[in-house]
Amino acid sequence: MKYLLFEFLLVIFFVYIQCEITYIEVKYPLKGKRSPPNAVWPHPQQINISNDLLYIRPNDLAVYSNLQTCDIIAKAIERYKPIFFPPTLDMKQPSSNMENILQNLTLNVKGNIQCEKYIELNSNEAYNLTIKQKFALVEAYSVWGLLRGLETFSQLIYINEQNYIVINSSVDIIDSPRFRHRGAMLDSARHFLPVSIIKKNLDVMSYNKLNVFHWHLVDDQSFPFESKTFPNLSRAGAYSPDHVYTPDDVADIIEHARLRGIRVIPEIDTPGHTFSWSKSMPELITVCWTHGKPYQSIYSIQGEMEIFNPSEPRVYSTMDALLREIHERFPSNYIHLGMDEVYDKCWLSNPNIRQWMVDNNILSTKNLHKYYADQILDITRNISVTPIVWQDVWDEHVELPPGTIIQVWKDSSDNIEFSSWASYLNRAANEGYNVILSSPWYLNYISYGKYNTDTSVMNLEFFKYYEVEPLRHFSGSSEAKERILGGEACLWGEFVDGTNLLSRFWPKAAAVAERLWSAASINNSEDAQFRLDVHRCRLLRRGIPAQPILNGYCGNYDLGMSKSMINHPLFNYDNPIWTETIAPSSARSFASLSSSSSSRMFNYKLYHIVYLILSLFFVYFCRK
């Protein structure tokens, strides 16, 4: 019977948050410094922590704030409850006579106290986090800094070997982002991405302190964005009526991002990548010719029709109306206009366009692209929107409006006809343009998971993204350097949909997040691999199926195991439950949840009771 009791206790309490990566072969031991179980990612600018620990009573941590009535803070406090206290893991209560207990957490805005509604490019995300004398304090000059500090605080909490929830007893962190624009780009046109998956990706972006969701909404393959002005675009251009983002869907995603300090920047890519428009507005699209016949496709050269027709006036009236609608529906004052990969063979094949070019003294397709770009950029001026463009239109010497952001995506490593991304970055910033970098961070390019160099065979895939230094070869003035706003990790959707987006993107995108947040001196990949592994296991405990970076394990909450949280309702949005925020007057205790959350937690607690009973019977009959 004593063995039975012992093994039953093991079933109940063996949930210590373990994680470990190990060598690919014994002869290749891993280099670098191993990390504690609460290593922070991305690494703060300054951090000093003690080895001594405080205990935290499960589901009983009071959180105070001088912005408690702000919906962003009130909902964040609620949202972090299952993050602080993982819902499937059993946690021991400290005894009543213990004195080293964390008493509470306070989130305070200093100076001008206001609940800003939307984060902006120049919002202040800096924060200080201190823990001393059994009290934790996050201070910031904005609500966005409080969110970043709350995330760091959540990462410091862990379950120790005795299954107590603990945190360092002395912490002093001073932190702020290195770059203002820290983004992730998703492509929802080549494969439709369910709203629930986009929202989970926004969650994990916030766990990595990214602050821009660049949403590539439409492309050749489909037009899933439901326009109120032109509803036929999605009716005819979406894959099906189910593969559409309704106005409510878009508003839901924007709100989900807003509460996490993330801007949503939509991209409507033209004049190329527009075949899906032809399903409802064929008059906008260029008809391709060959051998004197229209609607002729040539494999790898042109389709029967593709790319906007710059000589058609209805192109500009349609774009004017659509961009005005986009501006009204997306609170960010930025619209990405695309303007990349304008393949000119179809234009040149069309005799009507060639004649129009002659009549208007347009001598080349580059000048034709410039003509189109000038008209669209004039629209953005008229509606007071800041445009973002892929670098192609700048390469063709289009004069862009002041404040335009150029997104650099070309690189000599991708195509020998291109220059290095560093030279593009230098030139654009020195010409007075704001710039964001994506060239080295196309995460849709996948590989085995490691690569060899002359000095090592253990270079993990994320090293390629982590070791990028955006300013390494920058030669401009300090003023020009300020125009390098940051960068984006991009995940193009040719081979990505809801089944693999989160595992394909994470934790590789976390490498980009640290590069854009942390100091340039935080660049040791061998050390970072251990911190990233800790962070990857942390993501699993938050319901994110982040892929492994190397051999090893996280714990009994790995995907498919008894304590997995990947499909836990607290971390998923397949059946959204809309609730109004009720802001408390003073403190929000984690002892209580909303009624909807409570019912879901009851079901999971019942599940674990049944699981433990079955485990008891299993051990008993095995002994017999």
Catalytic positions: 341
Pairing of strands 386-390, 334-338: parallel
Residues paired with residue 126 on neighbouring β-strands, in sequence order: none
One-letter-per-residue 3-state SS of 109-140? ECCCCCCCCCCCCCCCCCEEEEEECCEEEEEE
Q: What does each C-alpha distance from 126 to 41, 106, 152, 175, 539 come to in angstroms?
A: 15, 16, 12, 6, 23
Residues paired with residue 388 on neighbouring β-strands, in sequence order: 336, 405
- C-alpha 341: how far from chain center: 25
Cβ atoms 206, 213 nearer than 8 A = no
**Other C-beta atoms within 10 Å of 587: how many?**
15
- C-alpha 581: how far from chain center: 25
Q: How far apart are CA 221 and CA 609, in angstroms?
A: 49
Tokens of 463: 């090293």
Interior/surface letters 411-431, b for 16+ CB within 10 angstroms, e for the rest: beeeeeebeebbbbbbbbbbe
Q: How far apart are CA 98 and CA 130, in angstroms?
A: 22
Residue partners of 599: CB distance under 8 A and separation at least 6: none
